[in-house]
């Protein structure tokens, strides 16, 4: 029996020490394949900018809107692995990290964010995957696969509509506000 629990440690980490995975399997269908980026280059600014550009194609705006509305919720911890002294690359949760970093960049450019949200975004609890080199690739693929292959099971259209309407009624701000809190664009929320 595989037990990943013994290889995962809960830790608070400054988001400046968290890096997007430029080798994210989500990127495999892009034409501009640049090969595997080695660990020692992952934290380089150009590598990170390229990874952020690529991950932005996956509904990042809606995730940022949701975080702006309800904060960074610790329901699903990002899973990271060490890449040097106090630095980590995200194994699972690259979209969440991209949204966090993007919101912090927006704040540096002058966007007002609530103090509580800023505090939530600057240090986050993650699960650090500590595994031997022989098992690292297997463990990373297993964790990502559990999330993206078998994944969280989506509700059906009727259940989503009922839940969104109930949230709209509770929030009192209209369907767009409820949709934004859930990371659903206004067109999809109305649909």
Pair 164, 116 in one domain: no
Q: How far apart are CA 133 and CA 135, in angstroms?
A: 6
For 113-131, what is each residue's pLDDT tens digit? 999 999 999 999 999 998 7
Pair 55, 121 in one domain: yes
Would the pTM count as exceeding 0.85? no
3-state DSSP call for residue 104? helix
Pair 170, 91 in one domain: no
3-state DSSP call for residue 10? strand
Pair 102, 178 in one domain: no
Is 70 exceeded by the pLDDT of residue 153? no
Pair 52, 106 in one domain: yes
Is 50 exceeded by the pLDDT of residue 102? yes
For 38-84, what is each residue's pLDDT tens digit? 889 999 999 999 999 989 888 899 999 999 988 988 788 999 999 98
Pair 24, 72 in one domain: yes
Q: What string of H, E and C letters represents the secondary structure of 27-75? A: HCCCCCCCCCCCHHHCCCHHHHHHHHHHHCCCCHHHHHHHHHHHCCCCC
Tokens 């970093």 found at: 101
Pair 64, 98 in one domain: yes
Name the residue among 100, 91, 90, 109 with its Cα closest to residue 66.
100
Pair 109, 166 in one domain: no
Pair 77, 131 in one domain: yes
CATH of the domain at 38: 3.90.1530.10
Tally the domains of the chain: 2
Pair 101, 164 in one domain: no
Structural domain harbouring 167:
155-191
Beta-strand pair 78-82/123-129: parallel
Q: What is the DSSP letter of 153?
A: P
Query: Given this model, what pLDDT does residue 100 score?
Result: 96
Query: Given this model, what pLDDT does residue 1 score?
Result: 44
């Amino acid at each position: 029996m595989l037990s990943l629990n013994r290889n995962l440690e809960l830790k608070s980490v400054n988001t400046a020490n968290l890096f997007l995975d430029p080798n994210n399997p989500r990127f495999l269908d892009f034409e501009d394949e640049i090969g595997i980026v080695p660990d020692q280059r992952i934290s380089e600014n150009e590598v990170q900018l390229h990874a952020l550009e690529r991950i932005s194609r996956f509904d990042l705006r809606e995730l940022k809107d949701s975080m702006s509305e309800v904060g960074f919720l610790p329901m699903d911890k990002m899973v990271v692995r060490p890449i040097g002294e106090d630095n980590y690359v995200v194994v699972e949760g690259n979209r969440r990290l991209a949204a966090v970093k993007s919101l912090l960049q927006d704040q540096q450019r002058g966007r007002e964010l609530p103090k509580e949200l800023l505090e939530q975004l600057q240090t986050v609890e993650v699960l650090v995957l500590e595994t031997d080199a022989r098992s690292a690739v297997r463990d990373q693929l297993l964790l990502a696969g559990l999330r993206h292959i078998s994944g969280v099971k989506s509700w059906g259209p009727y259940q989503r509509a009922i839940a969104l309407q109930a949230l709209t009624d509770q929030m009192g701000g209209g369907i767009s506000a409820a949709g934004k809190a859930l990371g659903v664009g206004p067109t999809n929320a109305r649909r």
